[in-house]
């Protein structure tokens, strides 16, 4: 069935370090892909999205590229800040028939000053 | 309001009680979704509405779970005879339309349900 697999956390980095959070997916058809972020005590917020192969989503210094050949959508940021500490969720939407999102289990990021 | 709102934010119920969780979507959003998020897990789909029509309820875990959106705006998720395994955060999300390039779901803050 359709699914999303994320690297397990927690991920602990020093400020200004490079971040990669891996996400791979299994899906029939051509899903849209999303990264959501959940800051402590807050709800899920859309971070970025990509709707077709080779699209790059970007926001707030974060980037992810939709790679159909490797079924991946890895999240990257060149220089993390303490304020990036949060839980990051990768998700897919099949976009037809059923419009539900399928989420990964989330990766907790902790950035130390 | 500008975003999706949910009430109550926290609910404690004794096992066997019925609960009702409310969701106010973003004004004008056609699609509305309910998800269940267990501790340390990602959200899992429960049900989907397009306007007042419930088009997908495949994720509802049992017939104790019931959702409605009678006027195509506010939605209520009802859980009858709550069990301890129902303890979770219940998230509501809305989108302008479902599918296509505008398919972005906006999430509310969630209702944390604790069943004792």
Q: Is B40 left (phi over 0), alpha (psi -120 to 50) or beta?
A: left
Residue A34: closest C-alpha in chain B: B104
Most A CBs within 10 Å: which of B42, B94, B97, B108, as the mutation test of the A interface? B42
State yes or no: pLDDT of B100 exceeds 70.
no
DSSP A68: T
A8: which chain B residues are within 8 Å (Cβ-Cβ)?
Answer: none
**Predicted confidence (pLDDT) per residue in A31-67, tens digit:** 899 999 999 888 899 999 998 899 999 999 999 999 9
CB nearest to A100's CB, from B56, B107, B110: B56
pLDDT score of B96:
85
Residue A8: pLDDT band with limits 50, 70, 90: confident
pLDDT score of A41:
81
State yes or no: pLDDT of A28 exceeds 90.
no
CB nearest to B109's CB, from A34, A43, A104: A43
SS3 of residue A27 by DSSP: coil
| Mean predicted lDDT score pLDDT of chain B | 92
The answer to whether the Cβ–Cβ distance between A106 and B44 falls below 8 Å is no
CA gap A60, B27 in Å, rounded: 27
Hey, which bits of chain A come out as E strands? 3-6, 11-14, 19-21, 23-26, 32-38, 44-50, 56-59, 62-65, 75-77, 86-93, 101-103, 107-112
pLDDT score of B101:
54
SS3 of residue A47 by DSSP: strand
pLDDT score of A40:
85
pLDDT score of A1:
84
pLDDT score of A100:
87
The answer to whether the Cβ–Cβ distance between A91 and B42 falls below 8 Å is yes
């Amino acid at each position: 069935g359709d699914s999303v697999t994320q690297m397990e956390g927690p991920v602990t980095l020093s400020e200004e370090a490079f971040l990669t959070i891996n996400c791979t997916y299994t899906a029939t058809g051509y899903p849209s892909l999303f990264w959501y972020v959940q800051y402590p005590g807050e709800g899920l917020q859309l971070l970025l999205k990509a709707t077709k192969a080779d699209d790059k989503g970007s926001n707030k210094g974060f980037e992810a590229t939709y790679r159909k050949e490797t079924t991946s959508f890895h999240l990257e940021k060149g220089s993390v800040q303490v304020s990036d500490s949060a839980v990051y969720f990768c998700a897919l939407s099949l976009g037809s028939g059923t419009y539900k999102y399928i989420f990964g289990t989330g990766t907790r990021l902790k950035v130390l000053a | 309001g500008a975003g999706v709102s949910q009430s109550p934010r926290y609910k404690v119920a004794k096992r066997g009680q019925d609960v009702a969780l409310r969701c106010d979507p973003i004004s004008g959003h056609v699609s509305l979704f309910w998800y269940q998020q267990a501790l340390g897990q990602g959200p899992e789909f429960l049900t989907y509405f397009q306007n007042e029509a419930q088009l997908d309820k495949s994720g509802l875990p049992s017939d104790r779970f019931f959702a409605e959106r009678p006027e195509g705006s506010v939605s209520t998720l009802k859980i009858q005879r709550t069990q301890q395994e129902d303890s979770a955060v219940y998230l509501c999300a809305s989108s302008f339309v479902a599918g296509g390039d505008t398919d972005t779901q906006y999430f509310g803050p969630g209702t944390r349900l604790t069943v004792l």
